[in-house]
Amino acid sequence: MNKLPKNCPICQGSVIVTRFFCPNCQTSVEGSFEPQSDLLQNLTHEQVNFLLTFVRSEGRLNRMEEILGLSYPTLKNRLNDVIMALGFQPEKEVPFKLSDSQRQQVLDDLENGQIDSTQALRYLQGEDEFNLI
Query: Burial code of 102-131, b = ≥16 C-beta within 10 A, e = fewer?
Result: beebbeebbeeeebeeebbebbbeebbebe
**16 found inside a domain:** no
**20 found inside a domain:** no
User: pLDDT tens digit string along 62-105?
Assistant: 899 999 999 988 999 999 999 999 888 887 766 778 888 888 99
| Per-residue confidence (pLDDT) for residue 34, from 0 to 100 | 75
**123 found inside a domain:** yes
**27 found inside a domain:** no
**2 found inside a domain:** no
Q: How far apart are CA 98 and CA 116, in angstroms?
A: 18
**Do 24 and 31 meet the contact criterion of CB atoms below 8 Å apart?**
no
**28 found inside a domain:** no
Q: Which residues fall within 8 angstroms of residue 65, CB to CB, at 6 or more apart?
A: 71, 72, 75
Instruction: Find the domain containing 105 and state its range.
Output: 94-133
Q: Is the pTM of this model over 0.75?
A: no
Same domain, 99 and 130: yes
Number of domains into which the chain is organized: 2
Mean pLDDT across the chain: 87
| Per-residue confidence (pLDDT) for residue 36, from 0 to 100 | 67
